């Protein structure tokens, strides 16, 4: 079942690089905070690298001014997410998290099968805004599109 507005973010662990591979759980990411999480089908893929991530990099300060944390996830390993973040000039504070086994995207029902492209199970392209781990807004893209989950659109719809 796909997560809905009003649902609580499920407890799942993700990974990132910080003095080695570190585990971070969703309560640590979301509890007591305002967070925009956006997911991409894959690091270094065209739309993700040319539009989706760069939009959040460009608008990062606008989110921070509103007291909102920004998190990017992909079904990739933490080393790929770190390299992608470095190559894209991701600012300190924009978290690049790995959902390597797709545990998070499966838990919220936003996984997709990209086996036809040789990519296996991946995240659908989406963004969500949560306040204290409760989903307030959800922006899920139709397959092959990039419109509603952009940084500009998310900013236009949140408090």
Task: Give the CATH number for residue 30.
Answer: 3.40.30.10
Q: Which residues are catalytic?
A: 48
DSSP 8-state assignment for residue 120: -
Residue 7 maps to a domain? no
Query: Residue 94 is part of which domain span?
Result: 13-157
Assess if residue 8 is contained within a domain: no
Model confidence band, residue 122 (pLDDT cutoffs 50, 70, 90): confident
For 57-93, the pLDDT digits (tens) are 999 999 999 999 999 999 999 999 999 999 999 999 9
Q: What is the structure's pLDDT at 144?
A: 87
Residue 22 belongs to a domain: yes
4 lies in some domain: no
Tell me, yes or no, whether 58 lies in a domain.
Answer: yes
Mean pLDDT lowest among 46-55, 72-81, 98-107? 46-55
- Say how far apart CA 16 and CA 24 lie, in whole Å: 8
CB atoms within 10 A of CB 124: 20
Strand order in the sheet with 126-131: 21-25, 13-17, 95-98, 68-74, 34-40, 126-131, 134-140
pLDDT above 80 (res 118):
no
Mean pLDDT of the 34-58 span: 93
DSSP string computed for 46-110: HHIIIIIHHHHHHTHHHHHHTTEEEEEEESS-HHHHHHHHHHTTPPTT-EEEE-TT-HHHHHTT-
Structure tokens that stand for 53 in this block: 């991530």
Question: In the predicted model, is pLDDT for residue 120 greater than 80?
Answer: no
Is the pTM of the predicted complex or chain greater than 0.85? yes
Q: For the chain, what is the domain count?
A: 1
Look at residue 140 and tell me if it is in a domain: yes
Distance of alpha carbon 75 from alpha carbon 73, whole angstroms: 7
Torsion of CA 26, 27, 33, 37, to 10 degrees: 10
Instruction: List pLDDT tens digits, range 4-26.
Output: 999 999 999 999 998 899 999 99
Instruction: Please report whether residue 141 resides in a domain.
Output: yes
């Amino acid at each position: 079942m796909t997560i809905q507005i009003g649902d609580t973010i499920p407890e799942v662990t993700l990974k990132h690089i910080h003095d080695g591979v570190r585990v971070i759980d969703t309560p640590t990411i979301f509890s007591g905070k305002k967070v925009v999480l956006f997911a991409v089908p894959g690091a270094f893929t065209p739309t993700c690298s040319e539009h989706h991530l760069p939009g959040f990099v460009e608008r990062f300060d606008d989110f921070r001014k509103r007291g909102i944390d920004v998190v990017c996830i992909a079904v990739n390993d933490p080393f790929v997410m770190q390299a992608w973040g470095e190559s894209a000039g991701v600012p300190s504070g924009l978290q690049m998290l790995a959902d390597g086994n797709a545990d998070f995207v499966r838990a919220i029902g936003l996984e997709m099968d990209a086996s036809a492209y040789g990519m296996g199970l991946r995240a659908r392209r989406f963004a969500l805004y949560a306040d204290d781990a409760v989903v307030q807004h959800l922006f899920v893209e139709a397959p092959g599109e990039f419109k509603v989950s952009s940084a500009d659109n998310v900013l236009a719809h949140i408090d």
